[in-house]
Amino acid sequence: MKKSTLAIGIIAVLGIVYVGTSWYTGNMIEDHIDNQLAQVTNKVNQIQDLFTFSVTKSHYEKGTFSTKVHLTVTVSPNESTIQDATPKTLFDDDVTIHHGPFPIAALAKGTFSPQMAWLEYEMSQQANPTLWKLAGNRPFISGHTGMSYGEYITVKLASKAIKASQNEIPTIHDSILDISNGSYTFSSYTNGSDIKAEIKLDKLVFLSDDTHFNFDDFNLSLKPLSTTEDIDYELNIGNIKYSFDSFISKGNFDVNNFKSKGRVNYKNQNIDEQSSIDKITLNMKSSTPKIESVIINKIVMSQKNVLNDTNNTIEGSLVSSIGSIIYGQQNLGNGSLDINFKGVDKQFFNYQFKTHAPDISENDKHNIEFSLNKFNWHNAGGDINVNFLFNISDINNAGINEKDYDKINTFKFKLEAPFDVLARLSAQIENPNASHVTAEQIAKENFVIKTKSKKLFSQSPFFTFNKDQTEGFYSDVQYTKGSQNVNVNGQLLDKKDFFKNL
């Protein structure tokens, strides 16, 4: 047998096998597409309760190597209070599904692993004539979806850059919307497990007569966990710019290199996140400017909130630090903050809990603790330090009155604010456009602060003005349950009088 004849025979056999496999794959897709669409629909509706998600198919045409089908995706708001609760169509277009195991369209995109199905999509002009025109008479969205034989789905979409005004998009009244090219990747198994998402956008600009808002280098990645409510996320924004021009004020601020990552629960709003900002620059403009800018450097924040399902209160913490604040040309110093709290009424976070948790009854008793573990501000003159601890038992959200004083377990407050530190801050604020302050300027502010403080608070037991031969504002308050008195800077005050006058 000639080698050429053998080669032709092998190719013919492989071709028959491939055609048969492709046809078989087409049958598998046809047999399972309804179930898979139902799984996607159910999963989206399970992980949120704001709207009802729906996917329907029509005009199904199966071929040997591909299948054509029309898909319609709609969402219907669940809130009856929403004025326009009519279903919104997110997608309504024809798509082509290429059969595996090695769709040519997938190979062309650099995907060489076997694929059960490969879907190529380009938004048609009929689907949205406005976006088609804004994208330069091209598809605004294009992309592909691949599903492996292990039923793992990967969706990759790309959007064209557009620039629109109210003429094209009526909802942006007297404004301009400018969006760069974007990429969007979503992946998961067909049963909804191992969901991942990533969004990248080079630029988003919103411009109106009195506002200019700009995002640069936007990157967001999400990974919902097995609970379907918890989401691991990472958000990076290279630059945020916001400018305003109103009757009251005019100015702008820039945020450089914002980073945030952590875990959130979209239902109960539990949060565990870490964030940082390299620099925030605020520029205020007026007819008689005293300073040109305020710069806040190296902001770091760690936040944690946990909802107690038993009594619908919040337990959490906040730790933050600032590397420096540059006021004009003056470096005002650096600071740090450390807070813990327990039993805080969820109504304090009511912007997060509009619909997700029932109201707390006034008969629901719980313990509250708030601890300012540390507030520190440091400059060349020294340190300001504040500590505070408050703990009370068996309290409801109706407030604290005289009969609740015996429920207070602990009350501690400590303040150390030397006049030298306050005077330096005051002198710097008074002379923002100088690179430093003189000893004379600090001494002047020191005298003013000292004189006014003693005039206003010399009769108050809550403050003293000297500690270890250093003048300043000082306070040391301590109370422990069981005592009838509060120790205020060494003096014993009746606890009812003390708490009543707070």
322: how many CB neighbours lie within 10 A of its CB?
20
Strand partners, 115: none
Q: Which of 157, 179, 209 is the last residue of a domain?
A: 209
Q: Is residue 407 part of a domain?
A: yes
Nearest CA-CA partner of 419 in 475, 476, 381, 458: 381
- Does residue 170 share a domain with residue 46? yes
Of 209, 244, 272, the position where a domain reaches its end is 209
| pLDDT for res 2 | 45
State how beta strands 250-265 and 334-345 pair. unpaired
315: how many CB neighbours lie within 10 A of its CB? 16
Distance set, CA 147 to CA 143, 158, 250, 295 (Å) = 14, 18, 52, 49
pTM, to two decimals: 0.80
Verify that 45 and 170 share a domain, yes or no: yes
Does some domain include residue 302? yes
Q: Please, what is the Cα angle at 139 between 136 and 145, to 5 degrees?
A: 155
Q: Is residue 244 part of a domain?
A: no
Judge if 204 and 303 occupy the same domain: no
One domain, residues 197 and 301: no
* 87 preceded by a cis bond (ω within 30 of 0): no
Do 303 and 202 lie in one domain? The reply is: no
- Residue 83 is part of which domain span? 1-209
Same domain, 55 and 195: yes
Residues 394 and 192: their CA atoms lie apart, in Å, by 43
For residue 341, count other CB atoms closer than 10 A to its CB: 19
Q: Is 91 helix (H, G, I), strand (E, B) or coil?
A: strand
Within this chain, do residues 327 and 202 fall inside the same structural domain, yes or no? Answer: no
Give me the tens of pLDDT residue by residue for the chain, a chain 502 residues long: 444 443 333 333 333 333 444 444 555 566 667 776 777 777 677 766 777 878 887 887 776 667 788 888 887 877 654 555 677 777 777 777 777 677 777 777 777 777 777 778 888 887 788 888 999 999 988 888 888 878 788 888 999 999 988 888 888 888 888 999 999 998 888 776 788 889 999 999 988 877 888 999 999 998 876 666 788 999 999 999 998 877 667 788 899 999 999 999 877 888 999 999 999 999 877 655 566 789 999 999 999 999 888 778 889 999 999 999 999 999 999 999 999 999 887 766 655 444 444 444 455 677 899 999 999 999 999 999 999 999 998 876 556 777 778 889 999 999 999 999 999 999 999 999 888 999 999 999 999 999 998 888 888 889 999 999 999 999 999 999 989 999 999 999 988 888 877 7
Q: Are residues 11 and 117 in the same domain?
A: yes
pLDDT at 365: 74
DSSP state of 492: E
Q: Is residue 257 part of a domain?
A: no
Q: Does any domain span residue 460?
A: yes
In terms of residues, how long is the chain?
Answer: 502
* Residue 285 · residue 317 · CB < 8 Å: no
Tell whether 189 is covered by a domain: yes
Whether 248 maps to a domain, the answer reads no
Residues 8 and 150 in one domain: yes
Overall number of domains in the chain: 2
Flag whether 237 is in a domain. Answer: no
Please check whether residues 203 and 294 belong to one and the same domain: no
State which of 171, 192, 209 marks the end of a domain. 209
Within this chain, do residues 205 and 294 fall inside the same structural domain, yes or no?
Answer: no
Same domain, 191 and 316: no
